[in-house]
Structure 1
Amino acid sequence: MKYYLSLAIGILASMGSVFAQTDYDVTKIPENLKTDAAVVIRNEESFFDIKGLGAARMDYKVAITILNKAGEEYSEMAEVYDKFSSIYNIKATLYDANGKKVKDYKSSDIKDQSLISDFSIFEDNRLKLLKFASVNYPYTIEYSYSQDYNGLLSFPSWRDIKGFGVSVEKSAYTIQKAKNYKMRYLTSRNLPTDSVIIGEKVQYKWKSTNVAAISSEPLSTGIDNVCAWVKAAPNQFEYDGSSGNFDNWQNFGSWLFNLNQGGNKLPEATRLMVQNLIKDAKTPKEKIRILYNHLQQNTRYVSVQLGIGGFRPILAEKVAQVNYGDCKALSNYMKALLNEAGIPSNLIVIGNDMPSLNPDYSSVGQANHMILCVPLEKDTTFLECTSQYTPMGFIGYSNSDRNVLMVTENGGKIVHTPVYNAKANYQIRKTKIILAEDGTADSEIRSTYANAQFEENLSMTLMEPVELRKKIIEGSPIPMAQLTSYKYVQPDKTVPVLTEEINFKTNPILTRGGDKLFLVVNQINRHENVPLKVENRKTYFAVPFGYNDDDEISYVLPKGYNVEFLPKDISITSEFGSYTAKFSVKDNTIVYNRTQTMNNKKYAPEKYGEYVDFYKKIYQADKQKAVLAKTL
């Protein structure tokens, strides 16, 4: 999702003052802030004034210089609000490179539109949108607004650097509260907090100045380790007629549990259906599987984000009637089905594709999803209830290996989701290639993908034949002359394993030199490039997921040829993973075995050079050639 500047708010002086800086002449920008930058935040100020448990006001103003076309994504105001907030007093101005005013925008220039996500049909978010336009670079935009909140579950967060290619002259954030109002905050390392008492109010202030831009870095896990940031949250709160306490995860879980009281009732017809479905099941695991299959076959996912409905699941009896719901509703419905079967379960609040929940800091913004946990006596099963295709117990790589919140009658409890390690995320492939003297070949590929690699390839089973055929041809590492057959199958619907069978005729893969033929032995899973070197890297990095690839390729040689040269075996090991390549000849057939294992760890920036060197060795190893010669 596009990152809007308003979501990382700065600071406005406590008395609602205007900018001290109003000269937006681009020549006044320090040279170090132009290096590697497409955008310069000239000044960003925000003042968040907490009026009470359920009310606050934010005053925000920002000036942004767009240096070139690469910074165009920042040349708009896009502010989100809903029925619990209102945005008003919007002012916006465009300046040229010399800082001369070009245009003051009118309220009629600002669009007010519904913000319904691609995956949502019930959502009350709206958007105040203004797209600034200039035919010449550089130029500066400036806008400001006020926003009132009626209900406070969370506070605006702040960071000085908005992304790669963005530098900062000034950015700051102030939170004002009553002395007796309880809240918590986290800050980036070494960011000082300036607190001041003004009458009966306390102000917390953070600021950042003269921060150079960072160029985009490969495999980056984000810029949190190099930018200044603040996250803040209330203890007690009031929102949409509900109140609670977020001072720890246990209390957060209690609020969620109480919010759903009475939400697990099922219609009588659904209760009878459950009993009928499980009447022959012998074990709890078998009952879970039957009911989970029923959920997948009879419901569909629809996002619902309406006030407290963003946190309270739709009643189970309602889902039973309409057969759809969001992640909360479907998880709660599955919980109700299990209750009827006599199997207890717990809702799980999780950050899908987000970092683990911080066990020492509870807040709404760390999670965006809900799944279900079924704690059996000798096994614990996690259920992803929004997918109609994934097997029971497989929750997807973006939900794995992280702290999550289990909602119980005794409150919230931090637990950890299953880990899919490199060995579990495997690809096993056997390929047979029958070579012809003209360099072409007949090829058969048989692959098996598991867990994260199953998830990565699952879409292949859902495509229309014409689309699938096109994707296979375009994605083939070997140039195809003719795709003769293909098949994708999930042999056991209860296991996250997918098989692939592809048969095709190739364009020439042998090259000729005199009376000899040259063969790049790794034709299937070859690295074609090396990650770019990054001098003085700033951000941490990681591979998308740990994995284990095991390839065997058998080359049946052309008639009248034998092997004149075969590369030696190769072994490469590092903290990032391992690689082996083995070459052998048997019965006029070259057998090539390649195994690559990559560890999914987060590495410090200074390790990146070693990572590139490791990949460079693999790149060279994947280019090894065999030489074929005519027999006498």
Structure 2
Amino acid sequence: MKYYLSLVFALAAINTTFAQVDYDVAKIPENLKKDAVAVVRNEESFFDIKGLGTAKMDYKVAITILNKAGEGFGEMAEFYDKFSSIYNIRATLYDAAGKKVKDYKSSDIKDQSLISDFSIFEENRLKHLKFVSITYPYTIEYSYSQDYNGLLYFPSWRDLKGFGVSVEKSAYTIQRAKNYKMRYITSSNLQTDSIINGEKVQYKWKSANVAAVAEEPLSTGIDNISAWVKASPNQFEYDGSTGNFDNWKNFGSWLYTLNQGGNKLPEATKLMVQNLIKDTKTPKEKIRILYNHLQQNTRYVSVQLGIGGFRPILAEKVAQVNYGDCKALSNYMKALLNEAGISSNLIVIGNDMPSLNPNYSSMGQANHMILCVPLAKDTTFLECTSQYKPMGFIGYSNSDRNVLMVTEDGGKIVHTPAYNAKENYQIRKTKITLAEDGTASAEIKSTYGNAQFEENFPMTLMEPVDLRKTIIGDSPIPVAELISYKYVQPDKTLPVLTEEINFKTNPLLTKGGDKLFLVVNQVNRRESVPLKVENRKTYFAVPFSYNDDDEINYILPKGYNVEFIPKDIAISSEFGSYSAKFSVKDNMIVYSRTQTMNNKKYPPEKYGEYVDFYKKIYQADKQKAVLAKTL
């Protein structure tokens, strides 16, 4: 009885708090309006863990939309699936003075499926309401309850909802029984208030008067400046399965158990494997042949059905239907390799996400699965959802991060390969034959490796009409007539792409009296400098390390020679390096440029130095040569 009274009082406090809030926009402190498109006026989350697999969330939020740029925050979009339900939804719209404009009805709220373009089986659904106001600012308020029947993870909390959003008040409470085991981690300096209430324990976190942060160039996110909480159960129950998340070893054991018996292949597939590898001599040859077979004969689809969202489809099923999600295709490849006598391990990974935290195991840190094949002298990682990636190349969004290897002894944290700047290369040679009227013919030959291969590979999949438009639109040199183009992956086993483009240009030379002026870097020129950000708040990084090598040979117009050529330039910093060299040989200007960039994560106070580094590159890329008529 004491517990129920405490819960009633807690919920009553939430409701009372909201009832007393005045949503008059004029009462928002000025510091919360600066750089803001929206203001969280009040937010309360109360997560009550009722048992091993059951919980209830009571949630209420009020957000003021200041202008059209904040329109994306003027909606309710709450997700659920067959293991949860959302009910008791209430939604209200207020005008700028805080006067109620409209109470929304249940019929106004859409309940829609979230089947994505790449999914054929998915149970995720969405409760959605778009608030509509013809004037700004306005305030939205909504609340709901959500019951959970299966707990793999707990709702997370962060006070800042994004760039350009400030916070008046936000709070998150988790309530558990005394004997229920759970873990949580928080942002630094966030206070945790812990209260024992009879047989219950409450943890509460709150934040108030947090100014908005304008979006900053190259930002790695706002986690370093926001207050946040991530919580996870230890033991759990979900869709008839139980396990323990108290460490990565146990997490991996649960995943391994889910897949037991899932590696069996039909007899016809076994015979096919043996036939494919009968003439091979090394494990690497076997892996390559079977990986090629996987790429040529299967396709990726998403499957999100209960425990099936975590358990791979049986390998024998994939053999029959020739499709599957990342788990199914990785598991199928594992089965093919097993038939070939090669052991492998499933890898749980956060694609384009931070590394797994080795000291805090939880669901939600990963969103993808690949395969790892440990050999005697090296280890090969396989991206099994791609029909184009070469064997061993997993892409820069999977590289250089902690991942979970699933073994029969449980989970083990390992690290994926890192692609350094020299491996993420672009090598380009350009020949430009100049005419006296300033126009030219250009021949460009480029080679892209690893991450730059990945960035440019979509060009090979485009329709010819679209490809021509893209080449012309993206060309750093103005194209007057595109003559020919070609994209080739010379060796399907390597992440290397070659590009050849030939075209006639619009004028490249400008005239001044009897002289012609040429901006020497016509191909890979920095056209702008990153914006200065005073008092920057967030960390920053380039997407990946890279190395660009460019060489341009200019054939001079008849009757002209070089009167002036710039001096060589070298620039170096912790962010990377740059060099440009200029020389004249016979009737030709030879220009070479190298830029190397590091993708380390830099603190905000370094950003000014980064801008200064790029300003020097920008100026170096504008250097001009002067051509004069010969006597």
Scaled by the length of structure 2, what TM-score is found?
Answer: 0.98
Superposition deviation, residue 14 in structure 1: 5.0
Residues in 1 aligned to 2:34 and 2:483: alpha-carbon distance in whole angstroms:
53
Partner of 1:197: 196
Residues in 1 aligned to 2:11 and 2:373: alpha-carbon distance in whole angstroms:
50
Partner of 1:167: 166
Q: Detail structure 1 runs of 4+ shifted over 6 Å in the superposition.
A: none
| SS in structure 2 of the partner of residue 233 of structure 1 | strand
Scaled by the length of structure 1, what TM-score is found?
Answer: 0.98
Are residues 1:17 and 2:14 paired?
Answer: yes
User: What is the letter of the counterpart of residue 581 of structure 2?
Assistant: K
User: What is the letter of the counterpart of residue 214 of structure 1?
Assistant: V
Q: CA RMSD in A?
A: 0.8
Superposition deviation, residue 302 in structure 1: 0.1
| SS in structure 1 of the partner of residue 188 of structure 2 | coil
Counterparts of 1:522-533 in structure 2, within 5 Å, are 522-533=521-532
The 3 A distance-change label for structure 1 pair 62 and 168 is same
Partner of 1:133: 132
Superposition deviation, residue 13 in structure 1: 4.0
Are residues 1:119 and 2:118 paired?
Answer: yes
Contact 2:14 2:44 in 1 (8 A): no
Gaps (5+ residues) in structure 1? 1-11
Residues in 1 aligned to 2:271 and 2:333: alpha-carbon distance in whole angstroms:
15
For residues 92-137 of structure 1, what are the alpha-carbon distances to aligned partners after superposition, in whole Å with 9 as ceiling and x for unaligned?
Answer: 0000000000000000000111011232221000110010000010
Counterparts of 1:50-89 in structure 2, within 5 Å, are 50-89=49-88
Superposition deviation, residue 606 in structure 1: 0.2
Residues in 2 aligned to 1:397 and 1:72: alpha-carbon distance in whole angstroms:
33
For residues 146-177 of structure 1, what are the alpha-carbon distances to aligned partners after superposition, in whole Å with 9 as ceiling and x for unaligned?
Answer: 00000000000000000110000000000000
Gaps (5+ residues) in structure 2? 1-8
Residues in 2 aligned to 1:229 and 1:615: alpha-carbon distance in whole angstroms:
33
Residues in 2 aligned to 1:575 and 1:459: alpha-carbon distance in whole angstroms:
32
User: What is the letter of the counterpart of residue 40 of structure 1?
Assistant: V
Partner of 1:479: 478
Are residues 1:570 and 2:569 paired?
Answer: yes
The 3 A distance-change label for structure 1 pair 603 and 19 is farther
User: What is the letter of the counterpart of residue 424 of structure 1?
Assistant: E
Partner of 1:29: 28
Residues in 2 aligned to 1:247 and 1:70: alpha-carbon distance in whole angstroms:
42
Partner of 2:309: 310
Partner of 1:4: none
For residues 280-318 of structure 1, what are the alpha-carbon distances to aligned partners after superposition, in whole Å with 9 as ceiling and x for unaligned?
Answer: 011000000000000000000000011101100000000
Partner of 1:273: 272
Residues in 2 aligned to 1:200 and 1:614: alpha-carbon distance in whole angstroms:
59
Contact 1:16 1:59 in 2 (8 A): no
Partner of 1:5: none
Counterparts of 1:371-410 in structure 2, within 5 Å, are 371-410=370-409
Instruction: Give % identity.
Output: 86
Residues in 2 aligned to 1:50 and 1:171: alpha-carbon distance in whole angstroms:
20
Are residues 1:457 and 2:475 paired?
Answer: no
Contact 2:59 2:145 in 1 (8 A): yes
Partner of 2:422: 423
User: What is the letter of the counterpart of residue 514 of structure 2?
Assistant: D
Counterparts of 1:607-622 in structure 2, within 5 Å, are 607-622=606-621
Residues in 2 aligned to 1:584 and 1:36: alpha-carbon distance in whole angstroms:
49
User: What is the letter of the counterpart of residue 396 of structure 2?
Assistant: Y
| SS in structure 1 of the partner of residue 71 of structure 2 | helix
Residues in 2 aligned to 1:304 and 1:527: alpha-carbon distance in whole angstroms:
43
| SS in structure 2 of the partner of residue 397 of structure 1 | coil
| SS in structure 1 of the partner of residue 397 of structure 2 | helix
Partner of 1:252: 251
How many residues align? The count is: 621
Superposition deviation, residue 352 in structure 1: 0.1
For residues 482-532 of structure 1, what are the alpha-carbon distances to aligned partners after superposition, in whole Å with 9 as ceiling and x for unaligned?
Answer: 000000000000000000000000000000001000000000000000000
| SS in structure 2 of the partner of residue 255 of structure 1 | helix
Contact 1:13 1:46 in 2 (8 A): no
Counterparts of 1:464-613 in structure 2, within 5 Å, are 464-613=463-612
Residues in 2 aligned to 1:324 and 1:16: alpha-carbon distance in whole angstroms:
51
Superposition deviation, residue 33 in structure 1: 0.4
User: What is the letter of the counterpart of residue 73 of structure 1?
Assistant: G
Residues in 1 aligned to 2:509 and 2:557: alpha-carbon distance in whole angstroms:
11
The 3 A distance-change label for structure 1 pair 229 and 350 is same
Residues in 2 aligned to 1:470 and 1:254: alpha-carbon distance in whole angstroms:
51
Partner of 1:237: 236
Residues in 2 aligned to 1:19 and 1:185: alpha-carbon distance in whole angstroms:
28
Residues in 1 aligned to 2:374 and 2:11: alpha-carbon distance in whole angstroms:
51
Residues in 1 aligned to 2:12 and 2:274: alpha-carbon distance in whole angstroms:
65
Are residues 1:631 and 2:630 paired?
Answer: yes
| SS in structure 1 of the partner of residue 47 of structure 2 | strand
